[in-house]
Amino acid sequence: MSVFIVAEIGINHNGDMAIAKKLIDAAVVAGCDAVKFQKRTVDKVYTKEYLDSPRQSPWGETQRAQKEGLEFGKAEYDEIDRYCREKDIEWYASAWDIASLKFLQHYDCHYNKVASAMLTKEDLLEEIAKEGKYTFIATGMSNYEEIDHAVEIFRRYNCPFELMHCNSTYPMPMEDANLNLIHVLAERYDCKAGYSGHEAGTLVSTCAVAAGATSIERHITLNRDMYGSDQKASIEPYELCQLVKDIRDTEKIMGNGKKVLTAAEKEVKKKLRG
């Protein structure tokens, strides 16, 4: 089965549907399997004190103005749903609270995602697991005890899941990738293990496939110099195209692990061994 490649649009659309559509287009052109967004109910995810605190942004001078400026509502998600159907690409979103999860249930998305920041939110995890959709669970910032508990919840509800090795720094230094953990997670939890990357460039993500990742998720942007906290940890459309090509080539290179002689090798054997 081929690696599942997800272009994480997240909040890199900056509240602009035209940008969102260009990012969807980039994922389609590159050959990604899906695009992903993020959905929050601002007043449930953040405290009033935090939302009232100062922050300069294109939408105003408070954290609330910035957070609300980045949120899409029903009209926008209706259009995302329509546009992705037109472009024949899957879409889904990581819900950061139960109200957002309920909102997303109005759409026929085939996947859920637990963001690293939400891995310890037991009530949210239970609601996601009850839904029973295939769920990608990011493990950034988490220890084994926390991952154990999340996995126990999903197994309790018989909800299919896939862990994603992740380092939650933006951007992540290459030397912190620790890709050998992909195999460790797969063995420890007897499940598929993918990789959600925040590093610059595409080399680490390609290496993750060679290390056994069954899915790859990368943030994408039209331009890393755009406004936004995730832009610097994202890849641009030309890099996304290169990444998808390199992943598909890596799958061919890794092969099936069986010791067989190719037809070309048999011919060489005749010549060199007589």
186 located within any domain: no
11 lies in a domain?
Answer: yes
Average pLDDT of 120-136? 98
Q: Does 145 map to a domain? A: no
Does 89 map to a domain?
A: yes
Residue 246 lies in a domain: yes
Per the CB < 8 A criterion, the answer to whether 163 and 194 are in contact is yes
226 CB-side CA count, 13 A? 19
The predicted pLDDT at position 125 comes to 98
* End-to-end alpha carbon distance in the chain: 39
Q: Is residue 119 in a domain?
A: no
* pTM: predicted TM-score of the whole model, two decimal places: 0.95
| Domain with 98 in it | 4-113+194-273
Kindly state whether residue 157 falls inside one of the protein's structural domains. no
Task: Identify the band that residue 274 occupies on the pLDDT scale cut at 50, 70 and 90.
Answer: confident
DSSP for 112-166, please give it: EEE-GGGTT-HHHHHHHHHHT-EEEEE-TT--HHHHHHHHHHHHHTT--EEEEEE
> Looking at residue 58, which CATH number applies to its domain?
3.20.20.70
User: Is a pLDDT exceeding 90 seen at residue 113?
Assistant: yes
pLDDT digits (tens, 9 = 90+) for 45-58: 999 999 999 999 99
Instruction: Note the pLDDT of residue 1.
Output: 79
Residue 253 located in a structural domain: yes
Percent of residues, the chain, with pLDDT higher than 70: 100
Q: What total of structural domains would you count in the chain?
A: 1
Res. 176: pLDDT tops 90: yes
Mean pLDDT of the chain: 96
